[in-house]
Amino acid sequence: MTQKMATSSIIETRFKHLFIDLKAVKKIMAEKSEPSNKNDIVIDRELLTVEKQARRAKQINKQIEQDYLDSTLDDLHRTLEQQLVDELKNTNNLYQKILGIDAVIPEMLDLLAVKACTISRLEALAVKIPWLYKDLLKMVNSPKYQRIDSHGKILSANTLRVALSFFGVENLKMVIPFLIVRRCLPLITDPYPRIKHRIWEQTIATAMASKNLASFNSVDENQAFTLGMFQVLGKIAVIKLYFKLFDQVQIDAMKQAHDRLQHKPHGALAKLEPSGEFLNILIDKYAAPSLARLITHMDLRRLPIHNAAQQLAEQQSVDELTGLSRVVKQATGYAQYRILKNHSLISLEEANEYLRVFSLPLGALEVLKTIDVRSLDLK
């Protein structure tokens, strides 16, 4: 493995650890950076033989118990993964029930992609989406986006049409995908409550980087932003299913152990918690293919992003990709770098090595450094 690829692998792994737990990844990095001193001498009192034996026995028993818990968790995960694969095959259920994407959304996205798009035409579709009115008004009336007239008076939007007009068609090309994905975010991911924040952090950063990289690759900005925003949908689907199925499989297994009077398995099952490490394995295996199926299911006619989503699912390197898929792949890498940098989890030397993997166009890095990857750049 070349130095460049080795660094890339290390950074990707670090990002996955961050995705689950910031404190854990900082601890791992601290342990690796601490120099080992073989000359350290630890002075301890001499233990009695019986005390040594007792301590050793305690360690052995503890390891046996942990091995049993790990084996029980492995069995649970095998059952869970089989069910997860079956659930992911049902794209319609994944689209409607797990992610909750409204049937009219593709039509709205297609309308936003054409020059003939108007506020009145958007309003006719928006009224068919129950949550959109409330979310749009909340966003447009927030301190960040509220308008002020020439007399210093705050202008409030109180109707759907006014909210749409305040944003305008060009901004709505970003706002609508933004609100769609935000509504899909998982709510409960215990014992990893920060997962939804990490997803959102990654989503905004990737979308904004995609939008700004589009012109360097002669790609439509709207297509780049939308796929950059939607690239996380497969990941969200896997995450939602994992936590949902973990509870179901655990409860079913505990009930079965109870009915069979299997006290030890029942006790072990009761102690199990979702595994961040296994969740990352599932994301690596199933998120990208699931995204491709979800985008294909949308059947977008005016916003051709399904081919690029399919290419991303094939896990090719940046140099093997072209056009839109290349842009989003580059944006994904850059977003991960910026997020790690924001959390002080990547050195300058590592960053330079990592970013070389993504073959960013000449001048692109200078532009990307100037953008805010934590919020939309609305005009």
Distance CA 211, CA 168 (A): 18
Average pLDDT taken over every residue of the chain: 91
- Tens digits of residue pLDDT in 214-224: 999 999 999 99
| pLDDT for res 37 | 52
Give pTM, 2 decimals. Answer: 0.90
* Closest among 69, 72, 74, 7 to 277, alpha carbons compared: 74
| pLDDT for res 40 | 46
Instruction: Render 131-163 in DSSP notation, one character per residue.
Output: THHHHHHHHHTSTTT-EE-TTSPEEPP-SHHHH
- Residue 336 corresponds to which tokens in the numbers above? 């991960």
- Contacts of residue 106, defined as CB under 8 A and 6 or more positions apart, other chains included, come to 298, 299, 300
32-46, 129-143, 305-319, 335-349, range with the lowest pLDDT:
32-46
Strand partners, 155: 147
CA distances, 300 to each of 38, 104, 236 (Å): 63, 11, 20
Rounded to 5 degrees, φ, ψ at 359 are 45, 55
- Tens digits of residue pLDDT in 254-278: 999 999 999 999 999 999 999 999 9
* Closest among 337, 330, 338 to 361, alpha carbons compared: 330
- Residue 36: is it exposed, middle or buried by C-beta count within 10 angstroms (0-12/13-18/19+)? exposed
| pLDDT for res 148 | 84
Average of per-residue pLDDT across 347-357? 95
Q: Is the pLDDT of residue 41 over 80?
A: no
- Residue 319 corresponds to which tokens in the numbers above? 């140099």
Using the structure block, give the residue that is written with the tokens 């051709």. 304
| Percent above pLDDT 70 for the chain | 93
| Percent above pLDDT 90 for the chain | 79
How sure is the predictor about 1, in pLDDT bands with cuts at 50, 70 and 90? very low
How sure is the predictor about 308, in pLDDT bands with cuts at 50, 70 and 90? very high
Count of CA atoms in the C-beta half-sphere (13 A) of 41: 2
- 174 or 52, which is more confident: 174
CA 97 centroid distance within chain: 19
* Closest among 171, 198, 189 to 335, alpha carbons compared: 198
- Tens digits of residue pLDDT in 315-330: 899 999 999 999 999 9
| pLDDT for res 198 | 95
Average of per-residue pLDDT across 171-188? 96
Using the structure block, give the residue that is written with the tokens 């601890």. 27
Domain boundaries, the chain: 3-26+72-102+187-368
- 2 or 356, which is more confident: 356
* Closest among 343, 340, 342 to 354, alpha carbons compared: 340
| pLDDT for res 205 | 98
